[in-house]
Amino acid sequence: MKNIFYPNEYLDSAYSIDYEKMYEKGYRGVIFDIDNTLVEHGAPADERAVALFERLRSIGINSVLLSNNKEPRVKSFNDKVHSKYIFKGGKPKPSGYRKAMEMMGTDTSNTFFVGDQIFTDVMGANIAGIYTFLTMPIDPREEIQIVLKRYLEKPIIFFYKKSKKRNRI
């Protein structure tokens, strides 16, 4: 049984995912966290984010932004990337992930999630049954409650990496 805290893949950045390959594998929807996954916490969508969402549309992958933030933050980011979005998403509860899939017309077999936090992003997506990418946070400067969670994430990441090495052997 998979550990609910372990992602399927752990990468440096949401921008390093091979989205074309995910499409070839049958994925048609992606759910994104925003802050510290796509941009620094609280930052507006930048050129890189805008280009990513244009690329996703050209490939044929639908997207939803799923954030625990309030609507003004999520909407202001979305105004530049033009995705569907859910604010006050209640992560890690699976209901936000299910709602996102419903909005895209996808299901657990053809949807994946990209986020930077284990205890909200990865855990919630795993509970919902979605393929998960954990990314390194873009900016190490974070609010104190997130900094505290990062300390708790370190041993999980250590054992995750150890299990991946063991499985490769």
Closest by CA position to 138, among listed 41, 42, 55, 65? 41
- Residue 107 domain-assigned? yes
Provide the domain count of the chain: 1
Per residue in 123-139, pLDDT tens? 999 999 999 999 999 87
What CATH code is carried by the domain that includes residue 107? 3.40.50.1000
As a whole number of angstroms, the distance between CA 147 and CA 140 comes to 8
Three-state SS at 37: coil
- Sheet of 84-86: strand order equals 9-11, 131-135, 111-115, 29-32, 62-66, 84-86
Per residue in 149-169, pLDDT tens? 776 788 788 878 888 777 665
